[in-house]
Structure 1
Amino acid sequence: MRALVFTKASTVELQDLDEPRPAPGEVAIRVVASGICGSELHGVRHTDFRKPPLVMGHELAGTTADGRRVTVNPLLSCDSCDQCLRGDEHLCRNRAILGIHRPGAFAETVVVPEAAVYVIPDSMSFETAAMVEPLANAVHAVRLARPEGNPRIAVIGAGTIGLVTLLVALEHSDQVTISDLDEGRLAIASRLGGRAVTELTGEFDIVIDAVGAEQTHKISVDVLRPGGVAVWIGLLSTQAGFDGQEIVRSEKRVLGSYCYRRADFAEALEIAGRVRLDWTTTFPFESGAEIFGELLEGRRDVIKALLQP
């Protein structure tokens, strides 16, 4: 089969590999669409977390040998550690992630545990189904914020995670503002129903940072009302960047959001059927290495690239 392989820092290559065979309890999926995640663009610049040679890809949709149209929860938990037993399987001490710890979906075929497979509706396109995974991240982040009433919500960043967070936030409030410096992305955010701005002003009950830079960390805290909550989902910087005394004096809360619970993934699959996810761009699998390189070099006219083997 053909596969897009992370071979060394900042390099992915199209290669021919042996087709994987499922073990008991696993299923082979013929991939129809797979998304390039921002975490993969960051990850391939180094070899400390994702270890080459590696077939990446954790956002996918495809078909099984028995004809099911499916997507996959790529977060694989042990179901036996203390975190799993308390219902936080996304924080499993033994977790594995498709495309990081085992071969992923940048291939014509991927093998996954049967328990990770979710059947999609006949009315749902494979391109939409491949977006369920990023949407699940947004479901989890918004859930952590515990929106009540009609809260003033701000989303920082109008990339993929920012836009899906906007869509989920709009399920809870009609007062959702999204900020970015890219006018093209702001235009899409506005079309999706958000109040699109280049700079956040005023104050908000909830701020979700979908960028994760030191500067956006600071902004997320600065524009919070006293007692408000900031949820950090972006991973761009390791530096916090905010005033710790402001957290104390105004009882502001900062929460990290990582992946999602299975219930979040199931909810994302349901939400995907009614929100607008038509801002993706599809590319043939053969051009995957080229598209990866262009995105690494900063190509901005593509928010979410989907590869079609």
Structure 2
Amino acid sequence: MREPPLRFRSIWISDIHLGTAGCQADYLLDFLRHTEADHLYLVGDIVDGWALKRSWFWQQSHNDVIQKVLRKARKGTQVTYIPGNHDAGARQFAGLTFGGIRIADEAIHTTADGRRFLVLHGDEFDGVVQCARWLAIVGDRLYSLTLRLNRAFNQVRARLGLGYWSLSQYLKHKVKTAVNFVSDFEAAVAAQARERGLDGVICGHIHKAELREIDGVLYCNDGDWVESLTALVELYSGELQIITWQQCYAEQAARTAVPAYAAANQGASGA
């Protein structure tokens, strides 16, 4: 028997990077199948146009993700798509609606408890993207190489019965310049919300899920679906939480494995 879906008032996901081998589309599909929300925000870098220009990579699971989002929109979920730097071509359609999905450069979301949040991808606060796009592209290719190494490394770990471990996240947390960049980015985005008189900001872009207060403003980053497999959700009380779906996925698999194992053993004992 299938478990009922987890219901939230709002869900934010970003940095899916459909069109790349690093995209964890199967995990995302599982997340979308097991969750329902009144509002779904796609906060940029949903399709990786940069990668697709270099070489074509597109699996059925990538189609399935898009179809699942469209199905949610048809069934009444208010879906808002805010393009990022990797899918910036969609920004020309801001203000339009396709298949029930509204496209916008940014949005203001009011939570159930009355707080107002600026929702945007965040690349406009990344000086590398804005001032030296060629350097951003080089960095993106190095990041893709790291992800390929990461996949090979985790295939070995899986054979040894070990869990997933992110090489790229480890490097970002260890390299001082990367740590400083993340801190500067978070402070700049939070300052933008404060200048507008808002209670907080919700963004993506840097692939680092976070939920913390910065100078009186609540900074929220929903993470990504390449490394961390995270989403930001709003409960019907207005409370915001970060969900790590890899952990939920493992717990769910364990729950379904137990009755299956019991049934198999029961059949064997009765034979």
TM-score, scaled to structure 1: 0.24
- More helix per residue: 2
- More strand per residue: 1
TM-score, scaled to structure 2: 0.26
